[in-house]
Amino acid sequence: MRTHAAVLRDPAAPYSFEDIELDDPRADEVLVRVTGAGMCHTDLIPRLLPPGIFPLPMVTGHEGAGVVEAVGAGVTTVRPGDHVVLSYESCGACARCHTGEPSYCHHFDVANTSARRLDGSAGAVSASGEQIAARWFAQSSFATHALATVRNIVRVDPDLPLELLGPLGCGVQTGAGAVLLSMNVRPGDSIAVFGAGAVGLSAVMAAALAGAAHIVAVDINPARRELALELGATAALDGADPGVAEAIRSLTGGGVNYSFETTAVPAVILTALSVLQVRGFCGLVGVGLEEITLSPYLLGGGRSMSYLLEGGAVPQVFIPRLIDLWQRGRFPFDTLIRTYPFEDIDKAEADARAGTTVKPVLLTDHRPQGVHP
């Protein structure tokens, strides 16, 4: 199957638009015509980390949504014509998958960030026959078509604005799932969210849904702080303020039950730990390589910290729940979205890195859609 894709060949160069040839769907795979694809910070990681970690050339994009065009011989859960959201991949066979925790699949890293299948195959070739790694999170949705699997697709109502739903597959799911599932924030609890990007703002909305008494958003961007207040934060503080930790303690009566850290900046992680009450928990989701020097004192009083993958969500269960909340006006994730024509992917990336757009969504299908302003 020929697809038009944004191929990353050089981490320092713009994307290269190319027609590449996707493999035919295997028994457990699904060919999807991509309608829209969100751009997540994780899609920028191949540009930011040292060369050699990722298999270039590759196609990224892991917040796709679209229409099923073909299915493998063993697929029974969807059929051509179904509308689907694409999420993360899992093996479906390990102990974590069998106990309902696919986000902690034993093969999560290889299945998602290697940009290849578990057997090492790339999934696509260029016009000249060159191998193209096109299995980023088992989708590589910065393309007009993508190969997904039965484990990372979620069927949705065809009457929904499909082109806007892709971010539910990762960024929105991660922030909301961390609060509602992994941390299980309850009415009256307090939480500080560090980083008001798409993941952090999704956490803010989820905390408001959960009835948290104190929801403190921390960011260096004034516009993001203002948006956090509109979405349910009870306070928004400047992350560049050296007194931010003391301000959080003052606002919340001594500290928070939960902190949620999205930046991966070591100093910010330490601050997120330092504002916890006794028995408080800090959830980490940011991606970075810098090491943290941590005093055991910060974990005194039963405080704890853990990295949370995909919010601990099972996509086929959690994404429909988020859609239902959105339809009832209780989870306005669409306010984070700005759409771009597929050809403007470099501008979308620049706007995301500059912080002027919270969640870019690339419109990869030029057929008529309900375009979000």
> What is the rounded distance in angstroms from the CA atom of residue 171 to the CA atom of residue 366?
24
Residue 168 covered by a domain: no
Residue 262 CA: distances (Å) to CA of 173, 178, 259, 282, 373:
14, 11, 10, 11, 27
Strands 16-22 and 29-38: unpaired
For position 221, which CATH number holds? Answer: 3.40.50.720
Residue 354 covered by a domain: yes
Assign 328 to helix, strand or coil. Answer: coil
Do 33 and 151 fall into the same domain? yes
Token pair belonging to 299: 């974990």
308 in Cβ contact with 331 (< 8 Å): no
Do 140 and 234 fall into the same domain? no
Do 38 and 149 fall into the same domain? yes
Residue 30 covered by a domain: yes
Residue 322 covered by a domain: no
Do 264 and 336 fall into the same domain? no
Do 101 and 124 fall into the same domain? yes
Do 237 and 355 fall into the same domain? no
85 in Cβ contact with 93 (< 8 Å): no
Residue 327 covered by a domain: no
Instruction: Using the structure block, give the residue that is written with the tokens 């057997």.
Output: 119
Do 49 and 138 fall into the same domain? yes
The H or E element containing residue 31 is strand 29-38
Do 278 and 336 fall into the same domain? no
Do 292 and 342 fall into the same domain? no
Domains: count for the chain: 2
For position 144, which CATH number holds? Answer: 3.90.180.10
Do 186 and 273 fall into the same domain? yes
Residue 372 covered by a domain: no
Residue 324 covered by a domain: no
Residue 370 covered by a domain: no
Do 247 and 296 fall into the same domain? yes
**pLDDT in single tens digits along all 373 residues of the chain:** 899 999 999 999 999 999 999 999 999 999 999 999 999 999 999 998 887 889 999 999 999 999 999 999 999 999 999 999 999 999 999 999 999 999 999 999 999 999 999 999 999 999 999 999 999 999 999 999 999 999 999 999 999 999 999 999 999 999 999 999 999 999 999 999 999 999 999 999 999 999 999 999 999 999 999 999 999 999 999 999 999 999 999 999 999 999 999 999 999 999 999 999 999 999 999 988 788 898 888 899 999 999 999 999 999 999 999 999 999 999 999 999 999 999 999 999 999 999 999 999 999 975 434 333 3
Of 342, 352, 325, nearest to 64 by C-alpha is 342
Of 126, 124, 201, 145, nearest to 31 by C-alpha is 145
The H or E element containing residue 193 is strand 190-194
Residue 264: burial class (beta carbons within 10 Å; 0-12, 13-18, 19+): middle
Residue 265 CA: distances (Å) to CA of 26, 160, 195:
40, 37, 10
Do 86 and 228 fall into the same domain? no
Structural domain harbouring 262: 174-309
